[in-house]
């Protein structure tokens, strides 16, 4: 598989290189040179495969013979070693696709675990030490930490905005220790992302520390997520596969990128809705064509508190390459007040949800037309956002074992100001 750098199209790399580098020159994102297509006559056969085999098949369409099929299947089996995602039907024409049955209860387990297993496979060949440096607005940290926990030759450093992720989220990944180091930053998620970028621009660090970012800029994470769009489709009754709309709660726009790649492969999804919270850089851009990020604001859907979404250039590139019109992309931004209302509404439909999915649900409901079928993505388990969900619904959610087992553990994070020199010192002194 060959990929080019969106900021410097003369930089061409292999899949292995793209996974190991994360970002290219000038912090450009890698993008597949060839967008493979599944023949529509093969689609049914592919949808009938089981999740692991089908996912291997889909991934191999992109990756090609760089990783032999049977090796790739092993990687996929180890990565998706938890119960597969599930469609939950809410009414005649709407369902939630639950992606949160992994070890850290969010969809990010798919991408993070596939990336970890792929890196481990690639590193076996050259037994290099790598440092995975990543910024998180919540769920990435947990998914990445658990995906790499106790892995040989990998040190993980995770930055997150202090006080801006839920206490339980923090417990889930800042209590592991061992090869996982967590640092809370006195600032926003964008400040954390900025520090990561600076580290990647630092030639000395990059050379000597085998720096890698596990953020959704890493192509392996995006490709892994393509797989579950096929799974969603396969779980739908045939009559609901026509005119399918998928509403995606967006932060860094990795999940939407994956959905669009699934469509580009030939999965007949009619359209997507890009749903954001008050951090609405993309909805405003789609409305008036001006890219004007504002200061990030904190919301109850904190995994989406991002005003400079990293993956947006990939979204644009897919539309450009496929010659699709951007006007086919639905979009909108949802306030905290509206989000809470929709958590309540979902509860009245017998479905306990959480802020991120509720945002996607709200916009789906608004935009879906007669004869269309809609899916909104359930990106996290409601218990991960227990404080808000309990308060809004006046209930007390019980904690799933993944969270309950960490609730009382001690936080091991360091705390620093958003200052690159401080971060560099920590990285150099470990
Ligand atoms: C990360 C995250 C999102 C946003 O996904 P992107 O791929 O960054 O757009 C949405 N919901 C939850 C719960 C998340 O953890």
Local confidence pLDDT in tens for the 430 residues of the chain: 999 999 999 999 999 999 988 888 888 999 999 999 999 999 999 999 999 999 999 999 999 999 999 999 999 999 999 988 999 999 999 999 999 999 999 999 999 999 999 999 988 776 677 889 998 877 888 999 999 999 988 899 999 999 988 888 899 999 999 999 999 999 988 899 899 989 988 988 877 887 887 776 899 999 999 999 999 999 999 999 989 999 999 999 999 999 999 999 999 999 999 999 999 999 999 999 999 999 989 999 988 999 999 899 999 999 999 999 999 999 999 999 999 999 999 999 999 999 999 999 999 999 999 999 999 999 999 999 999 999 999 999 999 998 898 888 999 999 999 999 999 999 988 7
Ligand 1 mutation target, pool 98, 108, 280, most atoms within 8 A of CB: 108
pLDDT reported for residue 402: 86
Asked whether 356 lines ligand 1 (CB < 6 A), one says yes
Probe ligand 1: pick from 99, 107, 144, max atoms within 8 Å of CB?
Answer: 107
CB 148 within 8 A of CB 156: yes
Determine if ligand 1 sits within 6 Å of the CB of residue 216: yes
- 260 lies in some domain: yes
Number of independent structural domains in the chain: 1
118 inside domain: no
> Is residue 48 a part of any domain in this protein?
no
Closest C-alpha among 369, 91, 375, 89 to residue 259: 375
> Could you tell me if residue 235 is inside a domain?
yes
Q: Whose CA is nearest to atom 8 of ligand 1?
A: 252
Which residue's CA is the closest to the ligand 1 atom numbered 14?
Answer: 303
Q: Is the CB of 106 under 6 A from ligand 1?
A: yes
Ligand 1 atom index nearest CA of 380? 13
DSSP 135-195: E-SSHHHHHHHHHHTT-TTEEEEEEEETTSS-HHHHHHHSS--TTEEEEEESS-HHHHHHH
Cα–Cα separations (whole angstroms), residue 53 to 60, 69, 102: 10, 10, 18
**Ligand 1 pocket, residue 376 CB under 6 Å:** no
Q: Is the CB of 250 under 6 A from ligand 1?
A: yes
38 lies in a domain? no
> Residue 205: what pLDDT?
87
- Residue 391: inside a domain: yes
**Residue with tokens 């017998």, as numbered in its chain:** 350
Cβ of 125: how many Cβ atoms within 10 Å?
8
In a domain, 410, yes or no: no
CATH number where 341 lies: 3.40.50.1100
Domain range holding 386?
83-107+225-397
pTM metric for this prediction: 0.93
Protein residue closest via CA to atom 4 of ligand 1: 251
User: Ligand 1 in contact with 111 (CB < 6 A)?
Assistant: no
């Amino acid at each position: 598989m060959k990929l080019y750098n969106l900021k410097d199209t003369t930089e061409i790399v292999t899949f292995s290189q793209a996974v190991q580098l994360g970002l290219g020159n000038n912090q450009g994102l890698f993008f597949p040179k060839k967008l493979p297509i599944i023949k529509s006559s093969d689609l049914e056969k592919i949808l009938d495969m089981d999740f692991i085999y089908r996912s291997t098949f889909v991934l191999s369409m992109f990756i090609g013979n760089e990783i032999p099929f049977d090796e790739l299947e092993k990687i996929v089996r180890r990565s998706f070693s938890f119960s597969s995602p599930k469609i939950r039907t809410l009414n005649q024409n709407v369902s939630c696709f639950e992606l949160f049955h992994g070890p850290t209860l969010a969809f990010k387990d798919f991408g993070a675990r596939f990336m970890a297993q792929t890196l481990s496979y690639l590193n076996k060949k050259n037994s290099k030490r790598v440092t995975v440096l990543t910024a998180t607005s919540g769920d990435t940290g947990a998914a990445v930490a658990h995906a790499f926990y106790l892995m040989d030759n990998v040190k993980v450093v995770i930055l997150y905005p202090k006080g801006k992720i839920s206490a339980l989220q923090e417990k889930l990944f800042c209590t592991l220790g061992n090869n996982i180091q967590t640092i809370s930053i006195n600032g926003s998620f964008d400040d954390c992302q900025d520090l990561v970028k600076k580290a990647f621009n630092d030639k000395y660090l990059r050379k000597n520390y085998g720096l890698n970012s596990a953020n959704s800029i890493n192509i392996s994470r995006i490709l892994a997520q393509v797989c579950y769009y096929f799974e969603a489709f396969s779980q739908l009754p045939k009559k609901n596969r026509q005119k399918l709309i998928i509403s995606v709660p967006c932060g860094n726009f990795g999940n939407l990128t994956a959905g669009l790649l699934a469509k580009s492969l030939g999965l007949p999804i009619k359209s997507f809705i890009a749903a954001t919270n008050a951090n609405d850089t993309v909805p405003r851009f789609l409305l008036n064509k001006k890219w004007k990020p504002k200061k990030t604001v904190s919301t109850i859907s904190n995994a989406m508190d991002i005003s400079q979404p990293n993956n947006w250039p990939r979204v644009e590139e897919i539309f450009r390459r496929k010659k699709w019109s951007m006007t086919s992309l639905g979009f909108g931004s949802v306030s905290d007040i509206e989000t809470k209302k929709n958590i309540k509404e979902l509860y009245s439909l017998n479905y306990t949800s959480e802020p991120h999915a509720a945002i996607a649900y709200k916009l789906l409901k608004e935009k879906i037309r007669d004869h269309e079928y809609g899916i909104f993505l359930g990106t996290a388990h409601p218990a991960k956002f227990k404080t808000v969900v309990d308060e809004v619904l006046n209930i007390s959610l019980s904690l799933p074992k993944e969270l309950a087992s960490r609730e009382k553990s001690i936080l091991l994070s360091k705390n620093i100001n958003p200052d690159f020199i401080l971060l560099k010192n920590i990285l150099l002194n470990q």
